[in-house]
Amino acid sequence: MNTTKESRETAYDRVNAAILAALEKGIAPWTQPWLIQGQRNATTNLPYRGINPITLGAIQAERGYNDNRWLTYKQAQSIGGRVKKGAKGAPVVFGKSSTWTKKVTGEDGTETEEQRGGFMWRMFNVFNVEEIEGVNWEKGTERTPEEIPTASAIWDGYAGRPSMVHGGDRAYYSPLGDRIQMPPRKSFITDSHYYETLFHEAAHSTGHKDRLGRLGSVENLPRFGSEDYSREELVAEMTAAFLMGTANLDAPQMIQQSAAYLSSWAKKIKDDPRMLLTAGAQAQKAADYILGATPSE
């Protein structure tokens, strides 16, 4: 996206001032801008529990499924469906409380029976409904995503950008695979929220060693909760706000959302006022990188 140095600086200054003002007067708690629907069984509609939702969520994200419902081979058959040829299953475990009798031999050689109890664990393979043929799955009313030209132009113009995958219910940037994971577009509250989240993860990607190098090596990434991690989150959210402003999408509610996200590190900012200034400078550099602007411009 082609923008002049003056227009970029105007957008950056406007957004930065609005965020600082929101932080000073207090803001509402940050809320996740996409809707999470937990992993659940397609026939019973019951949510999976224990380790299962974590496992299924990871597999959903890895394979890019947009649906969070699963069922066994037999369950698919029972409703007239069939698993697609070559489809891969996903493991779920089920523990059932059980008691049993065990014979125990005493020191005198006599045998007695003792009641034992515990969990009996079984493992099943389940298939995502997108791998099932012959069933018309009913879905609730879904939001139809629409492109925002000014925002999509920024992403499309990001030269050498990382790959992006949609699926699952998490948004993150993976430095190891140089990949951005995003929830399905239709799960976002609005299209603006989708682009703000995308720009946040794109900001993280500028720290890759082959770009601005802010993150350092993969082996020495900032640890969660550390000062470096907090600063990187500040950089990413401010970069997202700058890019939203450049796309003329810095509506008041989006500014409030960014400020609310940044408030998580309010104490660190108060303890070290330079932290915000440093993060702001790095955010401008990251935004310029994504926009294809060079310092000479």
User: pLDDT by residue (tens digit) across 68-122?
Assistant: 889 999 999 998 999 999 998 998 887 666 676 777 777 777 777 777 666 567 7
72 and 108 both lie in a single domain: yes
Write down which residue in 101, 133, 165 finishes a domain: 133
10 and 118 both lie in a single domain: no
Domain ranges, residue 106: 43-133
227: tokens are 């000062």
Strands 40-41 and 69-72, sheet pairing? parallel
164 and 59 both lie in a single domain: no
Q: What is the pLDDT of residue 297?
A: 44
User: pLDDT by residue (tens digit) across 111-152?
Assistant: 777 776 665 677 889 999 999 999 887 765 567 889 999 999
User: pLDDT by residue (tens digit) across 253-265?
Assistant: 566 666 666 666 6
Q: What is the pLDDT of residue 227?
A: 64
Does pLDDT of 18 surpass 80?
Answer: no
Q: What is the pLDDT of residue 131?
A: 93
- Which position has the higher pLDDT, 64 or 285? 285
198 and 277 both lie in a single domain: yes
Structure confidence at residue 197 as a pLDDT band (50, 70, 90): very high
148 and 252 both lie in a single domain: yes
61 and 176 both lie in a single domain: no
149 and 253 both lie in a single domain: yes
112 and 186 both lie in a single domain: no
Contacting residues for 219 by C-beta, under 8 A, at least 6 apart = none
Q: What is the pLDDT of residue 229?
A: 74
Q: What's the start-to-end Cα distance of the chain, in Å?
A: 14
Q: Which residues in 63-99 are b (16+ Cβ under 10 Å) and which e? A: eebbbbbbbbbebbeeeebebeeeeebbebeeeeeee
125 and 159 both lie in a single domain: no
- Does 297 map to a domain? no
Work out the average pLDDT over 161-175: 90
- Does 138 map to a domain? no
- Does 102 map to a domain? yes
Type of residue numbered 36: I
Top mean pLDDT of 21-30, 135-144, 171-180, 227-236 is at 171-180
Let me know if 276 is exposed, middle or buried by CB neighbors in 10 A (0-12, 13-18, 19+). buried
Among 224, 226, 205, which Cα is nearest to 214's?
A: 205
Structurally, the chain folds into a number of domains equal to 2
Does pLDDT of 34 surpass 70?
Answer: no
Does pLDDT of 220 surpass 70?
Answer: no
Number of Cβ within 10 Å of residue 254's Cβ equals 22
Q: What is the pLDDT of residue 226?
A: 63
Q: Are 16 and 60 in contact (CB under 8 A)?
A: no
177 and 260 both lie in a single domain: yes
Would you tell me the crossing angle of helices 149-156 and 227-246 to the nearest 10 degrees? 130
